[in-house]
Chains A and B, each alone.
Chain A
Amino acid sequence: MTAYLLPPGVIALAPALPLLAALLVTALRLSGAAQGEAGERRVAAVTLAAGVPVLGLLLAFALQGLILGWPGQVELGDWFASGGWRLPLSFTLDGLSLGIGVVVAFIALATLRFSLTYMHREAGFPRFFLGMNLFASGILLVVLAGNAGLVFVGWELMGLASWLPPPPSTPSGPSSPTAWATRACCWPSSCPSSGSAASIGRPWRRAPPACPPCT
């Protein structure tokens, strides 16, 4: 059996760190610590503190795989089991999943870095990064998952994240054109939530509004 420098179980950090960042951003938001310029800096620090190590981790795994060989299927234990059915916490660490994982982590980091500047002073700054971190976590889980159950979980995380676009920066609420436009942007057919189980519970999101309320 090959002795790896990086224990294969460490790969769980790849989806876990952005998920943790999303939870921390939520905590900052709920406690009011995400407000203002100082709040932006905190959210940025949390986001980058998750994004940079994830890319490093995946690069290290990919490099290790190229030199020492790919670990393949890695099982860390059961998430839960019911009767004869069990959902294992397993990951696939082959050339394909780690290669795509590196690209995904890089694109996610580039997007986060871009957005930290672009979204400066926007009303929905923390909420946006909550969604982005959640999305990064979901997509990394989809790419690295070792079973269909975890793919489903990752897919749903992405669906949940796409439900959290930035709110309009205008104070006029969802009836403003900005809000309609922003929402309209979030219904491309490629939007994961349009095919996710999470969307079943909110069918009103499936179709864009025909027109603003005509009262």
Chain B
Amino acid sequence: MTLGLDPAHWEAYLEGLAKELPGWSGMVLLRDRQCGQAGPGVPVAMTDYLALRLVLEQVYGQRLCSLHFKTEASLPALRGYLRHHPAELLVRLALYGEDLPEWLADQGHRLVRAATSRAAEEKETDWLPVARLLESWREGERRDPAPANRRAWPLFLLCQHLGLNAEALADLAADDARALLDGLAELTPERAAWVWLQAYERHYREQVFAALAANHGRGAWRDRPDGAIPPRAQLVFCMDDREEGLRRHLEELRPDIETLGAAAHLGLFIRYTGLGETRHADLCPVGARPAHAIREEPMEGAEAEGRAWLARRARRLAWKARLIQGSRRDPVRGLLASVAGAPTALGLLAGRMLLPAALAGWVARLREAADGRLVTRLRLTAGANTPATPQAPREGYTDAEQAERVQAFLTGIGLTRGFSPLVVIVGHGSNSLNNPHLSAYDCGACSGRHSGPNARLFAAMANRPEVRALVRARGIEIPATTWFLGCEHNTCDDQFIWYETDALRATHVRVFEGLRATLLQAGALHAQERCRRFVSAPLDLDPARAHRHVMGRRHDYGQARPELGHVNNAAAFIGRRAATRGAFFDRRLFLISYDCDLDPEGRGLEPMLVANGQVGAGISLEYYFSTVDNERYGSGSKVTHNVAGLIGVMDGTSSDLRTGLPAQMIEIHEAMRLLIVVEHRLGVLTGIYERQPVLRELIGNGWVQLAAKDPDSPAIHRFVPDLGWVAWQGRAEVPPRARRSADWTRGHRDTLPPALIEGVGEASG
């Protein structure tokens, strides 16, 4: 039995069939394409999947055709049937393809229901009266497609938006009234949505431009003149919009600290394996494949302790597996384990219910007591200069590769001189429980994983004397008094993990201790700022209580909103931090450090704009589409999500694999296209735009907006695809000022417009 499709249409038909279940089809296609890359595993073929779908389609089609048309499920048979039943064809086509009035649709549905309950073929005479009614209704529609009663409601809505009351409407001159009605006729739902989107974007864009213009010249460390006192410490964060808040609070607390931003893979695409782990993680952007493998191992000289630590850990994990798996699989041991473990399980349940954060802390301490402490290092230097390929990643980087990566990264963020005694590289990640969407909260630059290992690796590389010598030869003099340190920021509970602090020199310990305390303080203030967006957190939380609140969310099994991810993202700034330092952007800006004075021709900017533009656009559009139609482009509510086969989530037990973001992640997102502001000259940006097809597609087709901030003046230009650069002629009024971010946010749940924070930007630099 065949469907009788013309082979010329097979491809389009199969594509349509696959797109009926975009989640499953996308997953199968991905696995099909990854075949041979991901190592051993069950091979997955898209053709097998389509064959299965075809079989199901045939079975389902057969059921439908025999139910409705009493014929077999093939195109020729259907054609033959409908040729003999033109009235039925007319009614069915109109019923499912047109917006029929209720009285007519009701009659059509009644005929369809009757057809499904009969065993014999349909009589054309049953359908003829409804077909005639349909024709007369269409005739009426043709004569007056938009009767007055249907125009009144849209006109009423339009007048409300324009602020016109009934009297003003009645007083309109004939030409004005005609113009209003003509405008209304053109205002289809699609056009109206486009107008509203542009209005929304313009409103926010004006605020951002006004803040950037007003903040021009306020920020410290715009230049790094020789002999100037360097910052007390420099911290390089991820470009992530969530880090904007933490950076701002840190700078408010200690104006002598400088912060910078970059994609947190830091130019190190690695296959990372933690100590004792059997599985690795590729820490690099989606689509890239690492050519270098990095392994965590015990510090040199501590191999015996390392072996003992691994043995203790293995024993603990074996007991855990015995308890959990044994109680599932073995009936006798299962019964014994259930009876013996029941009181403990009940206690744990009570702990999770009442004091989730305290219980998690207690469990972590218990685990550490069982395993013991071990000082570790990364094996980052390659033994020999063998080829490094994605097919066979080489262990470690050569000295030359390390120097090249360190120099390229530091140049990219504009940190080539004026080094502080302590330079901290901060990766980030997020932890929460019972959360299948966990990776959506992690570092986007590391394809939804933690970027702490990249930060640790970069710091370890930059501290090696061999690498510093090579970097010096490449033109960057890192003082001997400067020490790099790796760190990971947990964006869920604003806590920090520090790496290799045991290697700190005595001269740096005091600065480090001070910085650690300041960072925790900034974390608490940041938690307080974040808490105002959680309805379940009181508005009057002080920083310490807010910090405890976010820690509780991290460890709460029932929390569907452990953090709000990129929910605020709206814009990106590529340029010196001095341009944004001292301004409040409500965690809405991706901040990428770049010094245009070091790169007057924009050679470094070009790849940065391509890579970061795509990352930013990817995040922004994912939030945009998940917000505008959460059922289709997002994944609906988390509440009914079930993890299926450890590959995705389904709604309940039978649905497509859900893609996009869940409703809980976007419910307070303001859907706008990303506004990318670059600090550089127009000519340079025009050249890059013309050379890069990716940017032409992103910007020219309106997926993101582009603007340029002049490095030497407050002037800002906006790129309009059809017109080119247009000078911003916005309001000259200065944004509101506040002493501290907390003063500006206090008592507010919603997003706030930018403001200038006093006493931060003007720090001596």
- Verify that A and B bind, or say they do not: yes
Stretch at the interface among B372-380, B466-474, B554-562: B554-562
Instruction: Please tell me if B162 contacts chain A, counting CB pairs below 8 Å.
Output: no
B655 and A169 within 8 A (CB) = no
CA distance A115 to B556 in the complex (A): 11
Is B640 a contact of A178 with CB atoms below 8 Å?
yes
Are the C-beta atoms of A178 and B109 separated by less than 8 Å? no
- Interface secondary structure of A, over-half rule: helix
Contact pick for A166, options B636, B639, B653, CB 8 Å: B639
Chain B: interface residue total (CB-CB under 8 A): 34
Q: Mark B314-352, 1 if CB is under 8 A from A, else 0.
A: 000000000000000000000000000000001001100
CB of A168 closer than 8 Å to a CB of B = yes
Complex interface: chain A residues within 8 A of B67 (CB): 214
Closest chain B CB from A179 CB (angstroms): 9
Using CB atoms, name the residue of chain B closest to A181.
B652
CB atoms of B667 and A121 under 8 A apart? yes
Q: How far is the CB of A118 from chain B (nearest CB, A)?
A: 4
| Residues of B close to A169: CB separation below 8 A | 636-637, 639-640, 663
Identity of the chain A residue whose Cβ is nearest the Cβ of B67 in the assembled complex: A214
Distance in Å from the Cβ of A129 to the closest Cβ of chain B?
14
Interface flag for A122 (CB, 8 Å)? yes
Partner of A182 from B64, B346, B353, B640 at Cβ < 8 Å: B640
Between A and B, how many residue pairs show CB distances below 8 Å?
85
Indicate if A12 sits at the interface (CB-CB under 8 A).
no
Q: Which residue of A lies closest to B650 (CB)?
A: A181
Chain A residue contacts of B637, Cβ below 8 A: 122, 169-170, 178
Residue-wise interface mask of B (650-670) relative to A, using a CB-CB cutoff of 8 A (1 in contact, 0 not): 111111100000011001000
B399 CB-CB contact with A under 8 Å: no
Within 8 A of B (CB), among A15-53: 37
Contact B557 A114 (CB under 8 A): yes
Q: Which of A102-119 contact B (CB under 8 A)?
A: 103, 106-107, 109-110, 113-119
A192 to B527, CA, bound (A): 45
Decide if A178 touches B353 in the complex (CB within 8 Å).
Answer: no
Report Cα–Cα, A170/B634, bound state, in Å.
12
A8 → chain B closest CB, angstroms: 26
List B contacts of A172 (CB < 8 A). Answer: 631
Q: Judge whether B117 is part of the interface by a CB distance below 8 angstroms.
A: no
Residue A177, interface by CB 8 Å: yes
Q: B535 at interface (Cβ–Cβ under 8 A)?
A: yes
Q: How far is the CA of A119 from the CA of B664 in the complex (A)?
A: 11
Chain B's closest residue to A210 (CB) is: B63
Tell yes or no: A184 within 8 A of B by CB: yes
The CA of A130 and the CA of B216, in the complex, are separated in Å by 57
Whole-angstrom distance between the Cβ of B347 and the nearest chain A Cβ: 11
B536 beta carbon closer than 8 Å to chain A: yes
Residues from chain B with a CB closer than 8 A to the CB of A110 are: 349-350, 353
Taking a contact as CB atoms under 8 Å apart, the answer to whether B636 and A115 are in contact is no
B109 touches A215 (CB 8 A): yes
> Is B112 located at the chain interface by the 8 A CB criterion?
yes
Does B656 contact A215, Cβ atoms closer than 8 Å?
no
Give Cα A116 to B639, complex, Å. 12
Q: Is the CB of A114 within 8 A of B651?
A: no
Closest to A170 in B: B631
- Partner of B558 from A109, A116, A185 at Cβ < 8 Å: A116
CB-based nearest A residue for B556: A117
B654→A180 contact, CB < 8 A: yes
Chain B residues closer than 8 Å to A114, beta-carbon distance: 353, 557-558
Question: Any chain B CB within 8 A of the CB of A120?
Answer: yes
Interface centre among B96, B353, B663 (most CB of A within 10 A): B353
A-side contacts of B650, CB under 8 Å: 181
A117 to B639, CA, bound (A): 11
Structural contact, A181 and B639, CB atoms closer than 8 A = no
Instruction: Across the interface, name the chain B residue whose C-beta is closest to A117.
Output: B558
- Please, how many angstroms separate the alpha-carbon atoms of A50 and B601 in the complex? 70
Cβ-based interface call for A73 (8 A): no
Q: Is the CB of B535 within 8 A of A37?
A: yes
CB < 8 Å neighbour of B559 from A117, A121, A176, A185:
A117
A32 to B711, CA, bound (A): 57
**A184 contact from B64, B535, B639, B653, Cβ within 8 A:** B653
B656 neighbours in A (Cβ, 8 Å): 177
Interface string of B636-649 (1 = CB under 8 A from A): 11011000000000
- Bound complex: CA A152 to CA B655 (Å): 36
Question: Could you say which residues of chain A place their CB within 8 Å of the CB of B636?
Answer: 169-170, 178
Contact A176 to B631, CB < 8 A, known contacts A110-B353, A116-B558, A118-B639:
yes
Would you call B353 and A122 a contact (CB within 8 A)? no
Cα–Cα distance between A181 and B667 once the two chains are bound (Å): 22
- How many Å from the CB of A6 to the closest CB on chain B? 23
Contact of A178 among B64, B536, B652, B667 (CB under 8 A): B652
Indicate if the CB atoms of B560 and A181 lie closer than 8 Å.
Answer: no
List A residues 77-108 near B (Cβ within 8 Å). 103, 106-107
Say yes or no: B663 contacts A120, CB within 8 Å: no
A17 CB to closest chain B CB (Å) equals: 19
Report B-chain residues with C-beta under 8 Å of the C-beta of A177: 651, 654-656
A54 vs chain B, min Cβ distance (A): 15
Contact of A180 among B112, B349, B560, B652 (CB under 8 A): B652
Cα distance, A121 to B535, chains bound together (Å): 10
Output the residue of A103, A166, A181 with the most chain B CB within 10 A.
A181
A200 to B651, CA, bound (A): 28
The residue among B96, B536, B652 with the most chain A CB atoms within 10 A of its own CB is B652
Chain B residues within 8 Å of A109, by CB: 353
Given A118-B558, A180-B654; 20 other pairs, CB 8 A cutoff: A106-B346, A110-B349, A110-B350, A113-B558, A117-B560, A121-B664, A169-B640, A170-B631, A170-B637, A177-B651, A178-B640, A178-B651, A178-B655, A181-B650, A181-B651, A183-B652, A184-B652, A184-B653, A184-B654, A214-B64
13 pairs, A vs B, C-beta closer than 8 Å: A114-B558, A116-B558, A118-B559, A118-B639, A119-B639, A121-B535, A169-B637, A169-B640, A178-B636, A178-B640, A178-B652, A180-B654, A215-B112
10 tightest A-B CB contacts, nearest first = A181-B652, A117-B558, A114-B558, A181-B651, A118-B558, A169-B637, A177-B655, A185-B652, A178-B651, A110-B353
